[in-house]
Amino acid sequence: MIRLEFALRRKPGMSRAEFQQYWREVHGPLVARHATTLNIHRYVQLHTLDDPINDALAEARGGMEAPYDGVAELWWTDPDALR
């Protein structure tokens, strides 16, 4: 099994809610429609939560770069499926 992960950030000017709605309602279905053609075995969206603990953790570490808004996982059964 091969898994690729993509850390995602929204476009400047786009709210997290807008990003998540687009990703869930537009991009997710687009991937689903083309999964067979692309030999994708599994597609997972991991959405970032607005949780005060994230800010506290960043502050404890002396600050961090802008957080990611989500992680996409794409799975293929084997290397040949990627070709």
For the stretch 34-53, pLDDT in tens is 999 999 999 999 998 877 78
pLDDT at 18 over 90: yes
d(CA 81, CA 1): 10
pLDDT at 10 over 80: yes
pLDDT at 62 over 90: no
Domain hosting 6: range is 2-82
Q: Give the type of residue at 56.
A: A
Q: How many CA atoms lie within 13 A of 5 on its CB side?
A: 5
Residue 66, domain CATH:
3.30.70
Based on the structure, what is the number of domains in the chain?
1
